[in-house]
Amino acid sequence: MEDILTNPLVIAVIIGIISTIFGKVKKEEEKNNQNQKRKKPQTMKPASVQNKQSAKETPAPIPNRLEQMRQEAEERRKETERNLKGLERDLTAAKNKAVYTKQKLLQVNKDTVVQGIVLGEVFGPPRAKKPHHTMRAARKN
């Protein structure tokens, strides 16, 4: 029994099994939370449908209905404009961030060039790939 518990491979397998069990539990909880979030808007929709049906059942004068429809359309238009402005802000911020990172990556000065050359020499091919030719090799031929 002690031999089994001291074996690192067995310990790794046990840890893996435990982590997968807890991972599945978390995924199930997330799915339940997502399902609950989806169910809430669905309960609101029937209420709005009932409101529309009650509005249809009680005939209002035509000018009032037209005015209400116009106001609703105006509210939807304003809401879409607000959403559009927010999306435009997000898009411009993302573009500015991308430009900034490109500029930051492309900053080249004398020190970085020298450092690149030195590192190129350090990480270049090994000496075995380009052996040092001595005078002995020249004398043998």
Q: What is the pLDDT of residue 124?
A: 80
Q: What is the pTM of this model?
A: 0.28
Q: What is the pLDDT of residue 77?
A: 92
For 10-56, write each residue's pLDDT tens digit. 888 888 888 888 888 888 888 877 777 776 554 445 555 555 565 55
Where in the chain are the domains?
Answer: 1-58, 61-126
Question: 86-113: string of b/e by CB count within 10 Å (b at 16+)?
Answer: eeeeeeeeeeeeeeeeeeeeeeeeeeee
